[in-house]
Chain A
Amino acid sequence: MTPFFSAVCWLSGYLALVLAPLLVLLIGPVPPGSGFWWDFSMALGFAAMAMMGVQFLLTARFRRASAPFGIDIIYYFHRYLAVFAFVLIFMHYLIIRINNVDALVPINPMETSWYMTAGRVSLALFALLIITSLWRKPLRIHYDEWRMLHIGLTVAAFLLALGHIEGVGYYIDAPAKRWLWSGYTLFWVLLIVYVRLLKPWLMHNRPYRVSEVRQERGNSWTLALEPDGHEGMRFKPGQFAWLTLRESPWHVKEHPFSFSSSAARQDRLEFTIKELGDFTRTIKETQVGQIAYLDGPYGVFSVDRHRDAPGFVFIGGGVGAAPIMSMLRTLVDRHEHRPLWFIYGNNRWEDVIFREELEALKERLELRLVHVLTEPPTDWKGESGFITKELLQKVLPSDAKKFEYFLCGPKPMSDAVQQGLHALRVPLRQVHSELYDLV
């Protein structure tokens, strides 16, 4: 199955799932119409509910479903959908508020039916959910705390909304619909059980042990993991995994990192991690022998998805070199002969991660390595400044548009390079980049 075809299949499946409740409403005996706006508002409520339900599915990290798109895109999709679904929920409320305010019960929960209060609280929780997710950093919410908050708020808001629908009960009164609706609800509940209980249990049965903690240049550390009692993880070079360190997999304290080791070895997995945040600063304190868990591999940022390419151009900045290093090390192990370029941006020469090993790789690969420094030493003879269109034109051959490009670095660099490549008439579908920094 081609990636395009499977993408279409998964997208149709997604739409069917979102639209199912509306279709269920239309079959069988339907209560008489209650005016366009009333019925429109109710339909929006049901549709938004289905969209929120599918959100659980999107973040369940089903590897096969995410493979054609890349899981980073799924998370972006999840984010946009959440905002749109919230708008629909709010419209559901607003239409009644404007068009038929008498049908609304008093706000005070003591004077009103529980299911109307449930609906209102659910709306407020969904709002809170969106605010804390879109503005987590300005609100200074710690990542681990945010994840717990996110899970708690989601489940609460979702259950309250289900209670609201059950309590009102206009549309789902017919027995057949009640069954279908209950089935739909059960499906979501099972999904939560899978994601929060079963999947961590599967991870728990495949533990890893830390076998080395190695300091790299540029405040970075390489963490090596070896499987404990199983054969390890087969991944494509450039992919990543969610890493749980020093915690049980049920604690949901996991963080995504790219593999930096060769994919030819699945019994020793390495991650190169720069000290940037609360969690990454603790990597250096890790002890050999400590337990770790992995959820992966994920991602479409890999040379293995473009096996027929005549050559590859890697463009990385700082620790963005980690997945590129994984691809280069893998290509060495496979005795690669195609031409390769690595344009590597850093601030200072001392901070260039993998500097010595990259020099050595030039002996074993058709690799042209171009260092670009923003703060070059006084005797620097190489490239300096940013990776601009002019630099790309100078470094790359005239037939640059036939290669596949892998881009991994800070967003300003990534944007500038994409524009540069576009100006050099490299088709955008040949420029691959991973979106990270999701929340």
Chain B
Amino acid sequence: MREQLARNSALLTVVLVVLLAVMFAMIQNPPEPPPITVGEAASRPAPSASLSVSDVEKQVLIAAGRRVFEAQGCMRCHSIAGEGNPRYPLDGVGERRTAEAIRQWILAPAELKDQLPARAFQAKQAYRNLPPEDLGALVAYLQNLKK
């Protein structure tokens, strides 16, 4: 009987702890208001059916950039479309930042030290050793990320 008391109190503790963890996750992630879509879909340009030569080259570059993104383990800290670490999402980064700014945020020069977590600043230093064509492809891929 006393053994059951010990088990039940432990069980009660765990239930309370899990409930509080659920609460924490819910407070952190309030349900988003439904997006206003009226008319928006219509105003978006339809994807072009015919691609020019430069478009094809651009698509190849973007695909190469995506491979660099995956190979360098960027998803340990960043996510795109819900894939990867959701703490620092990159969705729509192409709308927020210029190509040059993206390049700077990847390479993390000393000026950015105060704006990055120490650990991220440290990790980014390694990207200076990326071959220039890989870096260019990565920037092109990120530049192309629109909402």
Contact = CB atoms under 8 A, between A and B. Distances in A.
A418 B1 contact: yes
Given A88-B17, A102-B84, A34 B6 contact: no
Interface stretch (A40-48, A196-204, A234-242, A326-334): A40-48
B20, B21, B27 pick with most chain A CB within 10 angstroms: B21
B6 A76 contact: yes
B120 to A, nearest CB: 10
Interface in A1-58: 11, 14-15, 18-19, 22, 25-26, 30-40, 43-44, 47-48, 51
A15 B13 contact: yes
Given A30-B28, A169-B117, A35 B9 contact: no
Contacts of A38: 25, 86-87
A19 B17 contact: yes
Interface in B14-33: 14, 16-18, 20-22, 24-30
A39 B2 CA distance: 36
Nearest to B9: A77
Nearest to B77: A103
Given A33-B28, A34-B28, A19 B16 contact: yes
A19 B29 contact: no
A301 to B, nearest CB: 10
A126 B97 CA distance: 44
B2 A35 contact: no
A81 interface: yes
A33 B13 CA distance: 26
Interface residues of B, number: 38
Contacts of B6: 73-74, 76-77, 79-80
Contacts, number: 125
A11 B6 CA distance: 11
Contact of A47 (B9, B20, B119): B20
B28 A22 contact: no
Contact of B75 (A48, A102, A106): A102
B127 to A, nearest CB: 15
Contacts of B114: none
A18 B17 contact: yes
A70 B2 contact: yes
A100 interface: yes
A132 interface: no
B62 to A, nearest CB: 19
Contacts of A30: 28
A190 interface: no
Nearest to A37: B25
- Taking residues whose C-beta sits less than 8 angstroms from the other chain, chain A's interface range is 35 or more
Interface in A102-129: 102-106, 113
A323 to B, nearest CB: 16
Contact of B85 (A37, A73, A103, A431): A103
A167 B119 contact: yes
B56 interface: no
B49 interface: no
Interface in B62-108: 73, 75-77, 79, 82-87
Nearest to A34: B86
Contacts of B16: 15, 19
A40 B28 CA distance: 9
Nearest to A46: B21
Contact of A103 (B2, B18, B25, B75): B75
A433 B6 CA distance: 14
A106 B71 CA distance: 12
Q: In this complex, which of A43, A74, A170 has the most chain B Cβ atoms within 10 angstroms of its Cβ?
A: A43
A187 interface: no
7 contacts: A22-B21, A36-B29, A43-B21, A44-B21, A47-B21, A73-B5, A167-B119
List 9 tightest A-B contacts by C-beta distance, closest first: A43-B21, A80-B10, A76-B6, A102-B75, A103-B85, A34-B86, A33-B29, A40-B25, A33-B28
Interface of A: 11, 14-15, 18-19, 22, 25-26, 30-40, 43-44, 47-48, 51, 70, 72-74, 76-77, 79-81, 84-85, 87-88, 100, 102-106, 113, 167, 169-170, 173, 418, 428, 431, 433, 435
Given A44-B18, A76-B2, 7 more contacts: A11-B9, A26-B27, A34-B29, A36-B26, A36-B29, A51-B17, A81-B10
